[in-house]
Amino acid sequence: LDGPVHLAVDLGASSGRVIAGGLRDGKIHLTEIWRFENQPVRMQQDLLWNHLGLWQNITHGLRLAADRIANIPGANIESVGVDTWGVDFGLLDDRNQLVGPVRCYRDPRNQGQLQAALKKVSREEIFAETGLQFMEINTLYQLLAAAQAGDVGYRNATSLVMMADLFHWMLSGERTIEATNASTSQLLSPVNGTWSTKLLDAFNLPAAWFPPPTPAGTKIGVVQKSVAEVTGLHDVPVVVPATHDTASAVLSVPASEFAPARPDWCYISSGTWSLMGVELPEPKITPLCAELNFTNEGGVHGSTRLLKNIGGLWVFQQIRAALQRRGTAPSWAEMVEQAALAPAFSLLVNPDDGALLAPTDMIDEIGALAERTGQPVPTDNGVLFRAALEGLALRYRHTLGSLERLTESSISTIHIVGGGSLNELLCQMTADACNRTVVAGPVEATAIGNVVMQMIGTGHLHLIEEARELIRKSFPTKTYTPQNTHVWDEPAARFATL
């Protein structure tokens, strides 16, 4: 690296990293400085995030970055920005202190809140206001759970910050709510980008908690003194990227257009979740969209991410976690290898089955699911691994059909970005099950999107098209062509009846 460097703090639900990015020889160059594990913490009945552990890792990574870059002649850290998963939040009080723990969206106490909310405001009305898919994990339902529980934090809060805003606040002392992450709350209008006063009123949420969202690419302040002393980032600007990780990932899709009205490509941002959808110039708040339960989340520069949440590699990750508890710890590569050798379609698992959202033990839960659906309980790890991947490919196939209906377009290419793009078996299964060309990569799409938006915010880049061209030049992709598509027909029919 030399010249201007941007530090991307990229927090996923399974791991976090601090990445330094900049331009060299007309290409984007990334250096991974620090990587760390992340997982929800179970405490009594609750599922929480270890936000202090994350903060320690962030500051450690930033210190390493500052030291490293100080030794590179001509290199200069121009900005820092954080992206994280959506929907989760922290609450601050009038003394500017964080109140209460930071909860994970899989927290069991959210159960039932969506149904309770619909008794107050109809599904149609909430959808008309927000254009969002109905998921119990959405910020709105988590807030209702906090109100019902009488949380001290909830009672004393004077403002709300989404997860990435929380870390921006820790870094800079500034309270903001960045727009793309705000759009995951189910409280924001995707049409005019303002908070829905109708919903805030209906659910007794104080309007003062929700300042106007800050657009991605805005400089909100500088690293505050106490943090600069620890990290070495003296007076470094904090520039908010598209803080919703999925928005950053979609920005990095190596497509040639930006937000086409009739897309012939879609994306799967593949990590803990699989977010499958298209990028459109404006939201699609139609009865069909509501019926298919797709979401209109905010993208960069006013675009819309019309997508669906699919259970993702969470199942695969949690099978591994369950094996770790049993004393074995296969690598991702070993799991993929064993899945490839296992018999096809011997167990069908829907990754969106509610029972798999936060089970105590994923292997036991899949066993119970097999019994419940009249399938043989797996005794072989390879069968379990394969079921997690085939289940995803089958969901992709179904979701692709819905996307084409919704957009009235025909999609020829599926871009897979994120950690899941390294899973060659899953990429090939996706191509086969969907009967479409799959283009896999870049892997670090989220961090790239974060860096690129900081480049835009600091004036080094201007247009998304320009950024995408750079991304295409800078990061190799791998193409998978469909084979043996017909073998997916029978399992797809069986899957639909589960």
> How far, CA to CA in Å, does 68 sit from each of 36, 77, 374, 447?
18, 11, 57, 19
Of positions 1, 7, 13, 280, contacts ligand ADP by CB under 6 A: 13
Please state, in angstroms and rounded to a whole number, the distance separating the CA atoms of residues 456 and 239.
Answer: 10
**Nearer residue to ligand ADP within complex by CB, 117 or 417:** 417
**Binding of ligand LRH by 141 (CB under 6 A):** no
The partner in contact with residue 105, picked from ligand LRH, ligand ADP, none with C-beta cut-offs of 5 to 8 angstroms by kind, is ligand LRH
- Distances, alpha carbon 308 to alpha carbons 305, 375, 399, in Å: 9, 27, 8
Q: Select the binding partner of residue 64 from ligand LRH, ligand ADP, none (C-beta < 5 to 8 A, by kind).
A: none
CA terminus-to-terminus distance, the chain: 52
What order do you get walking across the sheet with 219-222 strand by strand? 27-37, 15-24, 4-11, 76-83, 237-239, 219-222
Residue 332 lies near ligand ADP (rule: CB under 6 A): yes
Closer residue to ligand ADP (CB): 271 or 298 = 271
Burial class (CB in 10 A: 0-12, 13-18, 19+), 481: exposed
What type of residue is 78? E
**Residues near 493 by Cβ (< 8 Å), separated by ≥ 6?**
none
Q: Taking CB within 5 to 8 Å according to partner kind, which of ligand ADP, ligand LRH, none is near residue 76?
A: none
Determine which helix (DSSP H) or strand (DSSP E) holds 66, and give its type and residue range: helix 51-70
For the bound state, the minimum distance from the C-beta of residue 245 to ligand ADP, rounded and expressed in Å, comes to: 6
Residue type, 185: S
Interface pick for ligand LRH out of 1, 87, 266, 452 (rule CB under 6 A): 87
Q: Which of 79, 172, 246, 407 binds ligand LRH (CB under 6 A)?
A: 246
Nearer to ligand LRH, 18 or 470 (CB): 18
Nearest to ligand LRH of 12, 298 (CB atom): 12
316 binds, among ligand LRH, ligand ADP, none (CB under 5 to 8 A by kind): ligand ADP
Selected from 18, 19, 61, 85, the binder of ligand LRH by CB under 6 A is 85
CA atoms within 13 A on the CB side of 259: 18
Q: Which does 333 bind (CB under 5 to 8 A by kind): ligand LRH, ligand ADP, none?
A: ligand ADP
Is 464 among the residues that bind ligand LRH (CB under 6 A)? no
Which option in ligand LRH, ligand ADP, none does residue 246 bind, with CB closer than 5 to 8 A by kind?
Answer: ligand LRH
Alpha carbon distance 315, 388 (integer Å): 6
Distance from C-alpha of 165 to C-alpha of 147, rounded to nearest angstrom? 22
Q: Does 12 bind ligand ADP (CB under 6 A)?
A: yes
Q: Which is nearer to ligand ADP, 120 or 478 (CB)?
A: 478
Interaction residues for ligand LRH, span 329-388 (CB under 6 A) = none
CA 480, 481, 483, 489 torsion-angle sign: positive
Please identify which residue in 272, 303, 317, 428 interacts with ligand LRH, judged by CB under 6 A. 272
Q: Using the rule CB under 6 A, is 317 a contact of ligand ADP? A: yes
Residue 313 partner contact from ligand ADP, ligand LRH, none using kind-dependent CB cut-offs of 5 to 8 Å: ligand ADP
* Among the listed residues 16, 86, 232, 241, the single contact to ligand LRH using CB under 6 A: 86
**List 213, 215, 217, 271, residue binding ligand ADP (CB under 6 A):** 271
Going by C-alpha positions, the residue among 386, 389, 361, 356 that lies closest to residue 373 is: 356
The verdict on 245 binding ligand LRH (CB under 6 A) reads yes
The residue to which tokens 């033990």 are assigned? 361
Instruction: Please report, for residues 258, 326, 471, the alpha-carbon distance to residue 300 in angstroms, rounded to integers and kept in the order given.
Output: 10, 43, 16
Q: State the catalytic residues.
A: 245
Kindly report the CA angle at 414 between 411 and 420, in degrees rounded to 5?
160
Min dist. Cβ of residue 358 to ligand ADP (A): 15
Residue with Cβ nearer ligand LRH (271 or 351): 271
Instruction: Identify which of residues 13 and 383 has a Cβ nearer to ligand ADP in the complex.
Output: 13
99 Cβ contact partners less than 8 Å away, ≥ 6 residues apart: 91, 92, 93, 152, 153, 156, 157
Contact status, residue 297 vs residue 277, Cβ threshold 8 Å:
no
105 binding ligand LRH? (CB under 6 A): yes
**Tokens 């723990």 -> residue:** 101
Q: Determine contact, residues 199/187, Cβ cutoff 8 Å.
A: yes
Residue 418's binding partner out of ligand LRH, ligand ADP, none, with CB under 5 to 8 Å set by partner kind: ligand ADP
Q: Tell me, residue by residue from 389 to 428, as one string, x for binding to ligand ADP by CB under 6 A and - for no binding.
A: -----------------------------xxx-xx-----
Chain residues binding ligand LRH by CB under 6 A are 12-13, 85-87, 105, 137, 184, 244-246, 271-273, 275, 309
Chain residues binding ligand ADP by CB under 6 A are 12-15, 271-272, 313, 316-317, 332-333, 336, 418-420, 422-423
